[in-house]
Amino acid sequence: MTRIILGVEYDGSGFSGWQWQPEKRSIQQTLEQALSKVADQPVTVTCAGRTDAGVHAFEQVAHFDVDAERELHAWMLGGNSNLPDDVKITWVKAAVNDFHARYSAIARFYRYIILNRPAKPALQHGRVTWCYNPLDAGKMHQAAQYLIGNHDFSSFRAQGCQSKSPWRIMHFIDVYRHEDQVIMDISANAFLHHMVRNIAGVLMAIGMGKQPVDWTRELLEVKSRKLGGITAPPDGLYLGGVYYPEHYGIAKHPVFDKLPADAKRFD
């Protein structure tokens, strides 16, 4: 069996999320059906991080095992010819050593994009979160810094989150304004269910002046999702990239240059 690694981008607007769900359109199902036609046998795909309904990806990383012999470029060209317009394979390579898309990852990077203007989006509909109230990106960034480090993120996890531990290591969070957009770049060793969207909801409340800057610190201390504010919409959320040890030969997104030198994978 050969293990093949894929880089995948998708518009999550028309999907129920990454994971297979009965009678619903999922990215995993769509990708597996396309690759199975190229392999002429059933293919099962494993991703670095499952995304929810409506969440997009600049670069998801996935792998599959197959005994069919194909040129590497055939997996991308053949796969894309069988894929719809809202999901595409952007690169392919053979795995080395013990690579696993999920368990070999050191860090994930997400970007949350907020369109901050009075008018709703037309061209960006479904691809950004709209907020008409003015946001103070400086205060949002200041508030986000309380979340850096190894913390219990119980106040920022979905009530139905199935993770055994609420502890995660937050590497960095940067919030900044670019014209009429407020952008949040966030990286951790792993994320809890709805964690990024819950953090975005809290920071938006702070940016609108509804809560003080140190509210994020208070929420970490109380460890209660009931006090954690709204869950921001999925529209503006993108999986931006996944970072692996260099010996796997997967190109590193420049944003991961901010990671601490001793960053380790989530066990």
Catalytic machinery residues: 52
Tell me the residue type at 121. Answer: P
Please give the DSSP secondary-structure letter assigned to residue 119.
Answer: S
For 235, list phi and psi in degrees, rounded to 5: -50, -40
Q: Cβ atoms within 10 A of the Cβ of 212, count?
A: 12
Please give the DSSP secondary-structure letter assigned to residue 24.
Answer: S
The strand pair at 181-188 and 2-10 is best described as unpaired
Angle, CA 140 vertex, CA 182 and CA 180 arms, to 5°: 20
DSSP conformation letters of 38-84: HHTS----EESS--BTT-EEEEEEEEEEE-S---HHHHHHHHHHHS-
Residue 245 near residue 104 (C-beta atoms within 8 A): yes
Query: How far is C-alpha 59 from the geometric centre of its chain's CA atoms?
Result: 9
